[in-house]
Amino acid sequence: MFYDNMPDYSKSIIYTIRTRDGLYVGSTTNFTNRKHQHKSCILSTSLKNNLKLYQTIRDNDGEWNMKPYKEFPCENKTQLNIEEERIRNMLNADLNCNKCSGIDEEKMKATKKKWCDNNMDAERKRKKDLYNKNKKEILENHKEYYEKNKEKRKKYRKDNKQQFAAYQREYRKKQKEKMTETS
Query: What is the predicted pLDDT for the residue at 105?
Result: 66
Band of residue 182 on the pLDDT scale cut at 50, 70, 90: confident
**Would you say residue 170 has pLDDT above 50?**
yes
**Would you say residue 140 has pLDDT above 80?**
yes
The mean predicted confidence, pLDDT, of the chain is 86
Q: CA 26, 28, 34 angle in degrees (round to 5)?
A: 85
Helix 161-182 to helix 150-159 angle (10° resolution) is 80
Q: Write out the E strands in the chain.
A: 13-19, 22-28, 65-71, 98-99, 102-103
The CATH class for the domain spanning 2-103 reads alpha beta
Q: Which residues pair with 18 in a beta bridge?
A: 23, 65
Highest mean pLDDT among 58-62, 103-107, 114-118, 163-167: 163-167
Highest mean pLDDT among 56-60, 65-69, 122-126: 65-69
Which part of the chain is CATH 3.40.1440.10? 2-103
**Would you say residue 61 has pLDDT above 50?**
yes
Q: Which residues contact 24 (CB under 8 A, 6 or more apart)?
A: 16, 17, 18, 53, 93, 95, 96
Query: What is the predicted pLDDT for the residue at 103?
Result: 55
